[in-house]
Structure 1
Amino acid sequence: MSTELSKLSVLMCGTGEYTTGWTGAGASKSDKKVEVVGLTLFDLRRLGKVDHLRMVGVHGGKFPAIRKHLIENIGGAYKDMDVSFEEFPKDGKADPEAYKTAIDQMKPGDAAIIFTPDSTHYPIAIYAIERGIHVLLTKPATQKLADHIALIEAAKKHNVVCFVEYHKRFDPAYSDAKARAQTLGEFNFFNAWMSQPKSQLETFRAWAGKDSDISYYLSSHHIDICCWILQDIAIPTRVVASAATGIATSEPYNCVPQTEDTITLLVDWQSIKSQTHRGTGVYTASWTAPLKAGVHSAQQWYYMAEKGDITVDQAHRGYDITNDETGKIWYNPFYMKYSPSETGHFDGQRGYGYISIEKFVDAARSVNAGLAQPSEYDNHGLPTIANTVLTTAILNAGRISLDEKRPVAIKKEGGQWILQ
């Protein structure tokens, strides 16, 4: 089928760790040292799904180092891998609105994949969508519910695909658990934990606490999984947030004074079918976990319902490696597999980090070919902009609760979700 579809030209917005594996301090030291977005798109180009690639950042002066990093770590590691791309801004200049220049050179039906600080998601996405560009947004889609709703309406108006890159939906354990949860009756309790080591505060110092918080950055994953599981079972009605502080703002991290270490959201859920059934969700995320815990992302959750429960621990998958220098490490090859195939080619097409991006590319190509309508994907359990609105509602309510020290209600009025 891929031979019948035209190749997709893609703009990568953002030049950081997730897109290039390159950070302000050099090559990433996390589990994304060879990155995700760029690597996936370079491979999809090799496989004939993607064509021209562009990349836009704010500081054009970073591109020589990024190109060198990609040539050494991708071009030199895998057979037949072309890592070329057109950069914006050009000539080493700095331009916070270079994304407009890049998008203006694209045509309707092209695509933009946006991995930039949370506060920039909406202006970049709306600029692209209004010009007929398909959009894949990193999580969270937006920080404000009103902006998320505006993107839903714009994507519908311009008939483009707009997905949110909630890749945990494609984790085989999570997706299997979602299916099994449907047989367990009314929802009762959900408890989620996700953390990353304190070293992330160095990676994210430029925006941590200023442009976003750890709840938006990490809890968004598990809140989305819970919203996905409860899609036809229950709706959120109230959010209360609490935060721990003191580590991120101290030596050696010195983040801005308002930076929280760990954020917990307590969410009330109301059954859709039963007035008497209510549930509770507790979602905690931290970027002040120990430095040598053996995992980059600790991630687990517990789901209890009327007829049973589910426990998922995706930090410890029965697969660990011990090294004299680093100690014991639990790896996650189900997310991105970086070791090459027996022929020397990239071999990570079955990783859920890859699949998440490929699903978007396939959807955009199908719509361009007239084989599908963007609205059809809302019915497929995919993280479309329409299907992820309650995740943003909970996150936004949590931020308001922290800032204003009060509970925040989530309600539907006139067919639209609002916060009170």
Structure 2
Amino acid sequence: MAKIRVAVIGCGSIAEKRHIPEYAANPDVELVAFVDVVNQRAEQYADQYGAKAYTSYEEMLSVEKPDAVSVCLPNILHAPVSIAAANAGAHVLVEKPMATNEADSLAMIEAAKANNVYLMVGHNQRLMPPHVKAKEILETGKMGKVLTFRTSFGHPGPENWSIDGRNSWFFRKEEAIMGAMGDLGVHKSDLIRWLLEDEVVEVAAFVGTLHKEGTDVDDNSTCLLRMKSGAIGTLVASWTYYKGQDNSTVLWCENGCLQLGTHPDDQVIVLMTDGSVEKHQVGAMATNEKQVSSEIINEFVYCIKTSTPPRISGEEGLRSLNVILAAFESQASKTIVAVKEV
């Protein structure tokens, strides 16, 4: 089979650290184009990989006609660029959050269907080894029902990660629309839905800007979630964990407790009510400082190569986004909000 011709749209940090090197490492991929409004960034990768550089994604789509694209752009651009790529006949891998509202998300899903291409959302938490192991353990049934949980994602903020530092689009509300919740919270709403094979039905949330100066995007949120099964738990997203970053989840079940990402070496710890303890060293989760393969690119390429619809589909991306949108609505209305079904 011929190699899959891929274009990367947006050459910031997520492209630099994850998308580009993971495509380059995949033997089934040929990187053909890079797009960035800062031409120098696109040129740098084009030179490195023998590809073409563009400042316009419209021009790139019409000239190159790639088989697939990664959309690594500010949140507000996810929908229009993904739709344009689908209309040009390209499979789309879009960074999270897939869009900034439900209508745009539905339009993206529709565009992919109309053009018979795949739409996949970059929810890499599902593919990280500790979470894959935890899912396996839950599926054995030995833990019994999940009764309560907490899931948390916090780091010092995008100024330490983004290619533009404190001048990053992450802090400009007109481009980002949402802050820590769109960056980190949506990862956790996706993870908890997937781990529990359950949907969030109600959200009560505090969402606000506590410490980042000169921006009105949220830098912290604490949410209370009720699942369809009746399980209740908390979801926390923060850009002010200046020390003690966190990407952990704890599930309290009928027969014990499952701890994920709470220990540096034992990434999955199972504490059973009968006193037995299991510790699993399955590999670390990717962090901004320590990159390990996210597996998202390999999954996307596999789907295209084998004509397998993505597990992390547009519909799944929207279900996870709707939890975050409900949290913002809860903060605004100071009420418990029902999550929209997809």
Question: Which TM-score applies when normalising by structure 2?
Answer: 0.83
How far apart, in 2, do the equivalents of 1:128 and 1:403 lie? 34
Q: 3-state DSSP class of the match of 2:191?
A: helix
- Alignment partner, residue 37 of structure 1: 19
- Alignment partner, residue 4 of structure 2: 8
- Alignment partner, residue 289 of structure 1: 241
Q: 3-state DSSP class of the match of 2:148?
A: strand
Q: Which amino acid aligns with 1:51?
A: E
How far apart, in 1, do the equivalents of 2:81 and 2:10 lie? 11
- Alignment partner, residue 73 of structure 2: 116
For the pair 1:88 / 2:36, whether they are aligned, the reply is: no
* Aligned residues of 2:35 and 2:42 also touching (Cα < 8 A): no
Query: What is the Cα deviation at residue 180 of structure 1?
Result: 1.7
Of 409, 413, 416, which aligns to 2:338?
409
How far apart, in 1, do the equivalents of 2:134 and 2:266 lie? 18
Q: 3-state DSSP class of the match of 1:54?
A: strand
Aligned-pair identity in percent equals 22
Of 177, 186, 190, which aligns to 1:220?
186
Going from structure 1 to structure 2, the CA distance change for 1:180 and 1:400 (only over 3 Å counts) comes to same
* Aligned residues of 2:207 and 2:327 also touching (Cα < 8 A): no
How far apart, in 2, do the equivalents of 1:396 and 1:248 lie? 21
Of 103, 116, 129, which aligns to 2:61?
103
- Alignment partner, residue 122 of structure 2: 165
- Alignment partner, residue 33 of structure 2: 54
Q: 3-state DSSP class of the match of 2:85?
A: helix
Of 265, 285, 310, which aligns to 1:317?
265
- Alignment partner, residue 200 of structure 1: 160
Going from structure 1 to structure 2, the CA distance change for 1:304 and 1:164 (only over 3 Å counts) comes to same
Query: What is the Cα deviation at residue 304 of structure 1?
Result: 2.0
How far apart, in 2, do the equivalents of 1:9 and 1:219 lie? 32
Q: 3-state DSSP class of the match of 1:304?
A: strand
- Alignment partner, residue 256 of structure 2: 308
Q: 3-state DSSP class of the match of 2:131?
A: helix
After superposition, the C-alpha distances for 1:51-103 in whole angstroms (9 at most, x for unaligned) are 24211112224445x45xx98xxxxxxxxxx53331112xxxxxxxx111111
Q: 3-state DSSP class of the match of 1:6?
A: coil
Of 348, 356, 366, which aligns to 2:306?
366
* Aligned residues of 2:96 and 2:183 also touching (Cα < 8 A): yes
Going from structure 1 to structure 2, the CA distance change for 1:194 and 1:54 (only over 3 Å counts) comes to same
After superposition, the C-alpha distances for 1:266-297 in whole angstroms (9 at most, x for unaligned) are 221122xxxxxx1113110111112x54xxx5
Of 384, 387, 398, which aligns to 2:327?
398
* Aligned residues of 1:238 and 1:269 also touching (Cα < 8 A): yes
The two structures, once aligned, show a CA RMSD in angstroms of 2.8
Q: Which amino acid aligns with 1:286?
A: S
How far apart, in 2, do the equivalents of 1:318 and 1:185 lie? 22
After superposition, the C-alpha distances for 1:144-170 in whole angstroms (9 at most, x for unaligned) are 123223322332232212111111211
For the pair 1:230 / 2:188, whether they are aligned, the reply is: no
How far apart, in 2, do the equivalents of 1:56 and 1:363 lie? 24
How far apart, in 1, do the equivalents of 2:171 and 2:220 lie? 12
- Alignment partner, residue 279 of structure 2: none
What are structure 1's unaligned runs of at least 5 residues?
21-34, 72-81, 90-97, 250-254, 272-277, 320-331, 340-347
* Aligned residues of 1:170 and 1:352 also touching (Cα < 8 A): no
How far apart, in 2, do the equivalents of 1:308 and 1:147 lie? 41
Q: 3-state DSSP class of the match of 1:289?
A: coil
How far apart, in 2, do the equivalents of 1:334 and 1:242 lie? 27
What are structure 2's unaligned runs of at least 5 residues?
268-282
How far apart, in 1, do the equivalents of 2:323 and 2:40 lie? 38
Q: Which amino acid aligns with 1:180?
A: I
After superposition, the C-alpha distances for 1:211-258 in whole angstroms (9 at most, x for unaligned) are 121011012222111111232xx3222112203533102xxxxx32x2
Q: 3-state DSSP class of the match of 1:387?
A: helix
Of 221, 228, 233, which aligns to 1:263?
221
Going from structure 1 to structure 2, the CA distance change for 1:197 and 1:242 (only over 3 Å counts) comes to same
Structure with the greater alpha carbon radius of gyration: 1
Going from structure 1 to structure 2, the CA distance change for 1:317 and 1:190 (only over 3 Å counts) comes to same
Question: Which TM-score applies when normalising by structure 1?
Answer: 0.68
Query: What is the Cα deviation at residue 189 of structure 1?
Result: 1.4
Moved over 6 A (4+): none
Going from structure 1 to structure 2, the CA distance change for 1:119 and 1:403 (only over 3 Å counts) comes to farther
- Alignment partner, residue 28 of structure 1: none
> Is 259-268 or 391-400 further displaced after alignment?
259-268
- Alignment partner, residue 209 of structure 2: 245
After superposition, the C-alpha distances for 1:287-343 in whole angstroms (9 at most, x for unaligned) are 1112x54xxx52111112333331112672369xxxxxxxxxxxx86649x99xxxx
